[in-house]
Amino acid sequence: MSGQVEKRGGGGLKLVDGVALVVVGVIGVVVAFWILGAIAGFLWGLVKVVVLVAIVVGVVYLLVGRRRRTS
């Protein structure tokens, strides 16, 4: 076994490999943003529903409390 380094021919990244890497990266970023957008949209919708329910419950509580005090 000698201490010399053997050079390999044809090593490194080929043009097709680089293009494929970029395409996969771009598709991954698009899918990630799509999924995160869907999750954020769902959470925002949930927050709106919770706020709406809280407002309705608060108004009903005020109306029922006012009715009980007057009778």
Residue at 9 is within a domain: no
Angstrom CA distances, 23 to 20, 29, 60, stand at: 5, 10, 55
Give the per-residue pLDDT at 5.
67
Residue 10 lies in a domain: no
Residue 53 lies in a domain: yes
Domain carrying residue 45? 23-71
Query: What confidence tens digit (pLDDT) does each residue in 3-44 have?
Result: 676 666 566 778 899 999 999 999 999 999 999 999 999 999
| d(C-alpha 63, C-alpha 57), whole Å | 10
Q: How far is 41 from 35, CA to CA, in rounded Å?
A: 10
For residues 50 and 62, what is the distance between their CA atoms, to the nearest angstrom? 18
Instruction: Enter the pTM of the model.
Output: 0.58
